[in-house]
């Protein structure tokens, strides 16, 4: 398996009003977005062409929406990018740029 193009740990992942994990993982690798629990169990995954990610206008700066396989997830990221080499959630802007970059590189 190739090195992930994007990886974030310590991400809060929720669906509607239900929290699925407070310290989950988000990974973009081989053209797929994966949402994982803190133990590495898959919550959901899909090819990037089937994923929509955006910054909701109604939420605080540390929130992002990701629609994966038709299910909307609310992701709570960090307020600041972690120090290079350190684990932790990046900012929403960094996540959205990674999704666009990975999806754009896959399209013709």
Report pTM.
0.84
Q: Give the residue extent of every domain in the chain.
A: 6-104
Give whole-number Cα distances, 54 to 34, 64, 85, 91, 96, in Å.
16, 6, 26, 13, 7
Question: In which band, very low, low, confident or very high, does the pLDDT at 107 lie, cut at 50, 70 and 90?
Answer: very low
Which one of 2.10.109.10, 2.30.29.30, 3.50.4.10, 3.40.720.10 gives the CATH number of domain 6-104?
A: 2.30.29.30
Question: In which band, very low, low, confident or very high, does the pLDDT at 67 lie, cut at 50, 70 and 90?
Answer: very high
Which tens digits make up the pLDDT trace of 21-59? Answer: 999 999 999 899 999 999 999 999 999 988 999 998 887
Contacts of 9 (CB under 8 A, 6+ apart): 23, 24, 25, 38, 87, 88, 89
């Amino acid at each position: 398996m190739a090195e992930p193009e994007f990886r974030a740990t310590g991400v809060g992942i929720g669906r509607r009003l239900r929290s699925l994990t407070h310290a989950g993982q988000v990974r973009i690798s081989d053209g797929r977005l994966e949402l994982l629990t803190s133990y590495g169990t898959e919550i959901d995954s899909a090819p990037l062409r089937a994923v929509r990610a955006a910054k909701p206008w109604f939420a605080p700066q540390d929130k992002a929406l990701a629609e994966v396989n038709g299910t909307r997830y609310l992701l709570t990221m960090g307020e600041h990018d972690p120090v290079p080499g350190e684990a932790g959630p990046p900012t929403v802007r960094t996540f959205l740029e990674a999704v666009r970059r990975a999806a754009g590189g896959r399209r013709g």
